[in-house]
Amino acid sequence: MPLRHTRRRRHRSRLQRNLHDFPPEEPSDTDTTTTTTTNTTTTMAPSAEWTTDFFGPKLLTKPQTTGIPTASAFEGKKLIVLYFSASWCPPCRSFTPKLIEFYKNCKEDIGCVFVSSDRDEKSFSEYFGKMPWHAMFPSYTSTVNRNRQGRLSDIFKIQGIPSVIVLDAKTGHFITDNARTEVMSAGSDASAQKELVQSWLSKEAVPIHQASFGSGGGSSDNLIVRAIKYILTKPTYMLGIYVIVKKILRYLEEMGEDGGIEDGKEL
């Protein structure tokens, strides 16, 4: 009997060592809860857990406040919109009123989180104070918040602002990173705005690690970049462009030679 107990204890100690090979995520500086490691930690997190992992334990509802628990911020919402923006960015200041109008007409289905690139409290407060949604704690407030925001930018491959990402509120799965263009296309038409939300809901949300990202919706030359990428995948188009450019250069060269005989004089 003692030998059997010894084997069991050794087996349990091996299991414990294996569990330590997968350490839990580092808690934030404002999270005081204790997490117990169980088998459920390897499964897809429910809504309250993925939002806290992404945005932190609290979200701001107004500037210079202590915030509200992230886990309860999106109850009843079907979609969550991430808005990467900043007060110093002219395209952002131009787009924000359009997004506010869109949000007010569709807020029964969507929640929104402002991910700020502002660098000081005054700029952030003035800009966020006009927004009717939540905000992450700005990156300048702490190293933890800076790292968390940087992680989001890396995950969604944000290349410029403003960028608008849409996620499934229940799972955190990815729906689109082209939402800025789509919101602008919907304009001020409330029906078109609600149809856009329904189109997002009808799309198959995919786990983020399986998602295919564009430019995050932030680059002003997004359409040009896409066109270039499309052409590069079509050898026939590339050959056609090469022939056209070659003919144009030859034509310009011939024009230069004709003009040089008659007009080529020293001044």
Q: State pLDDT tens for residues 202-235.
A: 999 999 999 988 755 444 444 555 556 556 656 7
Q: What's the confidence (pLDDT) of residue 227?
A: 59
CB 135 within 8 A of CB 128: yes
pLDDT tens-digit map of 113-162: 999 999 999 999 999 999 999 999 999 999 999 999 999 999 999 999 99
Please report the pLDDT score of residue 228 as a whole number.
65
The pLDDT value given to residue 48: 55
- The better pLDDT of the pair 174, 21 is held by 174
Q: Which amino acid is at 82?
A: L
DSSP-derived secondary structure for 48-59: HHHHHHHH-SEE
Element (H, E) at 261: helix 235-263
> Residue 247 has what pLDDT?
85
* List of E strands, the chain: 58-59, 68-69, 79-85, 110-116, 134-135, 163-168, 174-176
Sign of CA dihedral 164, 170, 173, 174: negative
Whole-angstrom Cα distance, residue 164 to residue 109?
Answer: 16
What contacts 118, CB < 8 A, 6 or more positions away?
Answer: 86, 87, 88, 124, 127, 138, 140
Per the omega criterion (within 30 degrees of 0), is the bond before 24 cis? no
